[in-house]
Structure 1
Amino acid sequence: MGLLLGAKCFSCGYTNKCSFGGNMFTYTKICMVPGIDKKTKKFVVLNYLEKHNPLDVVFYNNKELKGKTLSFRNEKIQFGDILMNSDNNFCPNCKEYFFHFKILYYTD
């Protein structure tokens, strides 16, 4: 079961929505995961199961985009073996670690 995530930075107010994971009939071929395009520094959502050059994109399950401070909630968002922090992620807009992911709803 996939997810629709809302994303918001508590520092600058930047918001976005993105898919995370895959759905019942496509999860073996499609697994959408948010990340940062290293060339443009923009927020992207790409199929994690496709081959991506690590010089081009870094996904939010990578420690590079996770903040060093722990939140009180310390919640995780998971699809299969892909695990993301819900709090203290890198914001593509202000470059601070106050980007928060929240599950809006489940998709199938």
Structure 2
Amino acid sequence: MGNVIASKCRICGFSNEFRFGGGRFSYQTNCPVPAINKETLEFENVNYLEHKNSDKYHFYTDDVLKGNNDLNGTINNFNLKLNPVNNYCPKCKEKALDFRVSMFVD
């Protein structure tokens, strides 16, 4: 089961919504994961299964985009884990982007 996740930066107010994980019938071929495009430095929602070995993206499931998570748990999709707090913000470049699940999708 996948999620729709809302993000918001505590510093600059950057916000968006994205998909995390595939649905019941597509999870083996489609796994949307938030990422930063290394060339454009823009936030993108890309299919992890197609791009996991690519040098084009840093995924928010990678430690490089995660800040201190304290004891806030994680948002999971199989072995992929997002921190709900202190993620890299593509607008202000600080680790102040928070994620919250806004909807479960099937």
TM-score (norm 1): 0.92
Q: Contact 2:21/2:33 (CA < 8 Å) preserved in 1?
A: yes
Q: Identify if the C-alpha distance between structure 1 residues 50 and 13 changes in structure 2 by more than 3 Å, giving closer, same or farther.
A: same
In structure 2, what is the equivalent of residue 78 of structure 1? Answer: 76
Q: What is the distance in 1 between the residues matched to 2:69 and 2:24?
A: 33
1:75 CA drift (Å)? 2.5
| Unpaired segments ≥5 residues, structure 1 | none
Q: What is the distance in 2 between the residues matched to 1:63 and 1:10?
A: 20
In structure 1, what is the equivalent of residue 14 of structure 2? Answer: 14
- Residue type matched to 1:53 in 2? S
Q: Show the 5 A alignment for 1:50-89.
A: 50-51=50-51, 52-54=53-55, 56-67=56-67, 69-71=68-70, 73-89=71-87
Q: Contact 1:37/1:43 (CA < 8 Å) preserved in 2?
A: yes
Deviations 1:7-52 (A, max 9, x none): 0000100000000000000001000000100111100000000135
1:84 CA drift (Å)? 1.0
Q: What is the distance in 2 between the residues matched to 1:105 and 1:91?
A: 22
SS where residue 64 of structure 2 aligns? helix
Q: What is the distance in 1 between the residues matched to 2:105 and 2:38?
A: 29
Runs of 4+, deviation exceeding 4 Å: none
| Unpaired segments ≥5 residues, structure 2 | none
SS where residue 24 of structure 2 aligns? coil
Q: Contact 2:69/2:84 (CA < 8 Å) preserved in 1?
A: no
